[in-house]
Structure 1
Amino acid sequence: MDFQEKTGLPHTQDVPAFLEGLRRLKEESGLTLRQLEQRAAAKGELLPRSTLSSMLSGRRLPRPELLATFIRACGHEERVDAWLAARDTLAAGLRSEEDPAEAAPAPAAPAPAAPAPAPAPAPDGPNPTAAGPGPVPAAPVPDTDTEGRGTHASRSRPYRRLLRPRLLVPLAVVALVGATAGVLGTRSEDPGPGPATAADAARESSGQTTTRTAREKGEIPRGAIRLHPLSADRLCLTDGHVRDGRYHSQVAVQRPCDEAPPQKTELRREPGSDGYRIQWHHPEFGTGCLKVLDSGPGKGLLEPWDACDRAELFQVVPAPGRGVVTLRTEGGRCVGMAEPVTAERTEAVAQRCTTGRHQLFRVEPAD
């Protein structure tokens, strides 16, 4: 049985079959992720282990350049064109399925060219000419990427789309409730804990941010740390997979602390900022920083991304208790544990901020 027949390349009719062929190709190479990365580097190419891991365990088509690098690293230079052709065929099919109207936007154009017969614009009121150009731009709005996702394998494509909504959310919040000076403090939503709100105000009036105060208080140790959700203090926030299988890349979950190694966690201060990156270090996958996913099956989950400069910038806000903090996202949400909050392998998600223990984390040195 030749290579093409074993990998199913000639019969690849859908994305799952295509990805299964890639997994078989990796298995037949007998190479580890690290070895594949090293082979690519020897040719002057980049093939990060974490990116490769997500590509092989994902559900989306890889980028063409990533696919070509992987095929070459597996030792099949002569097969690159065949794999790329199969990928392009699948990508074209996905685009036509997701956006069938894209191929026929022209028929909609004549509508504004004939404002005289006004039966359609009549319901809009006494100004039918103003209504004419309105519906036309609505047709080409879809800008979906049928190949990219917020996974490691396709991180470079959705950066701008994923970051833009987070920039708009705080602006919308400020516009809606700008009359309240404490709109960015999550405790202002809850009238109960007055002392905590007063403490926040004191920090702001002294010109210090909450994250800077947390570091100065020693609540953020340097180096490797453990993040214990107070709702399950015996567990640690580390890498894992969602329990229901809806998302295949690694995400942040709570597991027994002795299962966390060899992955290590750090809170790294962003230069020139009061924010922190939650950075993971793994001997096989390398370094990645957590990013909140804003769309797709992984919406709300925290996924490690290779490009730390485009990952989430968290505000680390001190809370009552030694070393206890909340982790606030760029969009004004808080990191918390999903239900059931005490169970092993429960996912961390971005939630509306509350005073619940499932959104409080105790930070301690890992050693």
Structure 2
Amino acid sequence: MKSTGGSGGLEPAAAGDAVALVGLMQQLKDQSGLTYRQLEQRAAERGEVLARSTLADVLSRRTLPRAGLLAVFLRACGCGDGEVEAWLAARQGIEERAAAGDREPTDAGQAPEADEPPADGTLPGTPRPGPYRRRRVLLSGAAALVVLLLAIGIPLLTGDGTAPPEAAGQSPLPTGEVRIRPLRAPDLCVTDGRVLRARQYRTVAVQRPCAEAVPPQTHLIAAGAGRHRIQWTHRDRGKGCLVLLREPGLAGLLEPWDNCTAGGPAQLFRVEPAGGRAAAGGTAYRLRLIGDDADRCVAVGGGGPGATALARPCTGADDQKFLIGPG
């Protein structure tokens, strides 16, 4: 029978970084035998708040949890005052080392600008990335030239060697918060979701019922010359802009990065009127990538909730058409 109280022999002082501390938190939860819901209820019985969705996010990250949340979690697991103090001291030591020059991001917004790409996994104690990955990309000369051309408004050629239609940039797209709905399933919205790929869980673009798609809020952000970024804003996870992934096992997926320029052309889309039928009213649009990927469009890989959005060769089929309207 699993224990439901105390640190169970875990030594937080031995945690050398945020990844190790979060790993120990996961082990403590496992040893407690309590579900996320039960931990939430135990905290509520003490007059404290420990939302199970927030805790699940914390245990999937490689960043330090907030001190207050850590303390509430520990008490819900049955830790005494002395044990809570030991964990908080270990957290403080990691934070101080990070402030002194280590590269450990924290949930308190103390992440260094040049954060390395986080690795992730699914086993307790294994480092996993935050929902919106921190990524800094060194652009090649060719990619830098593409970004420069975009900045000064020189249109690029599409995959078929022709200039993209000017109508895309002139379409009366909504400003501010929007909903992006697959034409084939207008009751679903493109939003974030966790999927298992290459033995890792990643936060990527999926379709889910619109009633469950907020947060995050979705914004279509103009980037000049008829290009746009698709930006998500989450009250807990911050900002993330979709970027095309190319890694083996992940190629074609769209993942939010908190740096909305690091992805270069792979983070920009041309929003084109797609024509054809427009279910549920409005104009149907195609989301075309640019640069070397200008022959690829965003498509939804299946018809039901949870289906991933993928970059595929543009075909003009309905699975590559979306309704974009006010959020």
Distance 1:31 1:164 in 2: 47
Q: Which residues in structure 2 correspond to 1:144-159 (within 5 Å)? A: 148=119, 151-152=129-130, 155-156=133-134, 158-159=135-136
Q: Is the 8 A contact 1:221 1:364 kept in 2?
A: yes
How many pairs were matched up?
251
Structure with bigger strand share is 2
**Structure 1 length normalisation: TM-score?**
0.52
Once the 2 structures are TM-superposed, how far is the Cα of residue 237 of structure 1 from its aligned partner?
A: 0.9
Distance 2:300 2:10 in 1: 40
Distance 1:307 1:8 in 2: 35
Counterpart for residue 291 of structure 1: 243
Once the 2 structures are TM-superposed, how far is the Cα of residue 146 of structure 1 from its aligned partner?
A: 8.9
Whichever residue aligns with residue 357 of structure 1, its letter is: D
User: What are the superposed Cα offsets for residues 48-87 of structure 1, whole Å, 9 maximum, x if unpaired?
Assistant: x8xx9766325xxx3xxx44x7579746453148869xxx
Counterpart for residue 160 of structure 1: 137
Distance 1:335 1:10 in 2: 47
Distance 1:32 1:164 in 2: 45
| 1:78 paired to 2:89 | yes
Give the percent of matched residue pairs that are identical in Structure 1 and Structure 2. 29
Instruction: Pick the structure with greater CA Rg.
Output: 1
User: What are the superposed Cα offsets for residues 100-132 of structure 1, whole Å, 9 maximum, x if unpaired?
Assistant: xxxxxxxxxxxxxxxxxxxxxxxxxxxxxxxxx
Partner SS, residue 143 of structure 2 = helix
Runs of 5+ in structure 1 lacking a partner?
34-48, 85-144, 171-181, 190-196, 204-208
Counterpart for residue 25 of structure 2: 22
Once the 2 structures are TM-superposed, how far is the Cα of residue 255 of structure 1 from its aligned partner?
A: 1.3
Once the 2 structures are TM-superposed, how far is the Cα of residue 278 of structure 1 from its aligned partner?
A: 0.8
Counterpart for residue 33 of structure 2: none
Distance 2:133 2:118 in 1: 11
- Worse overlay, 343-352 or 285-294: 285-294
Counterpart for residue 300 of structure 1: 252
Counterpart for residue 177 of structure 2: 224
Distance 1:307 1:183 in 2: 23
> Which of 197, 209, 212 pairs up with 1:259?
212
User: What are the superposed Cα offsets for residues 282-336 of structure 1, whole Å, 9 maximum, x if unpaired?
Assistant: 3333332222222255432222222223351212122114522211224413211
Q: Which residues in structure 2 correspond to 1:4-19 (within 5 Å)? A: 5=8, 7=10, 19=22
Structure with bigger helix share is 1
Whichever residue aligns with residue 175 of structure 2, its letter is: R
Q: Is the 8 A contact 2:197 2:249 kept in 1?
A: no
| 1:185 paired to 2:158 | yes
Counterpart for residue 347 of structure 1: 308
Q: Is the 8 A contact 1:238 1:255 kept in 2?
A: yes
Partner SS, residue 59 of structure 2 = helix
Distance 2:142 2:208 in 1: 29
Partner SS, residue 310 of structure 1 = coil
- Judged with a 3 Å threshold, the aligned counterparts in structure 2 of structure 1 residues 299 and 239 are, in CA distance, closer, same or farther, namely same
Q: Is the 8 A contact 1:262 1:283 kept in 2?
A: yes
Once the 2 structures are TM-superposed, how far is the Cα of residue 234 of structure 1 from its aligned partner?
A: 2.9
Once the 2 structures are TM-superposed, how far is the Cα of residue 274 of structure 1 from its aligned partner?
A: 3.0
Runs of 5+ in structure 2 lacking a partner?
30-35, 72-86, 96-115, 121-127, 147-154, 277-281
Counterpart for residue 170 of structure 2: 213
Counterpart for residue 324 of structure 2: 363
Once the 2 structures are TM-superposed, how far is the Cα of residue 254 of structure 1 from its aligned partner?
A: 0.8
Q: Is the 8 A contact 2:190 2:206 kept in 1?
A: yes
